[in-house]
Amino acid sequence: MRELLRQAITTIEKLPAEVQDAMATRLPAEAADEQAWVAQFEVTTDVQWDRMVERVRQAMAAKDLTPLDDVFPPSEPS
């Protein structure tokens, strides 16, 4: 086990049982999601990347973009 993961588990162990259970439930799903992304990136060709870049450039030129702050508004300070 990597040291960073060991530290994370040590931190999680200090949390209430229901929070530990919630986090433990999410970890396998996060790992599977990460593996899926890695697999997808591994098979993405240069031609596909070039097409994606061109689409982004076209959207930028057409100003057909939504600012991230509109999608994910900044949270109010506590």
In a domain, 20, yes or no: no
Task: Kindly state whether residue 47 falls inside one of the protein's structural domains.
Answer: yes
Low-confidence stretches of the chain (pLDDT < 70) are: 78
In a domain, 59, yes or no: yes
- Which pLDDT score is estimated for 78? 64
Range of the domain at 50: 26-63
Rounded to whole angstroms, the Cα distance separating 72 from 74 reads 6
Please tell me the total count of domains within the chain: 1
pLDDT score, position 1: 85
Helix ranges, the chain (H): 3-13, 17-43, 46-61, 68-71
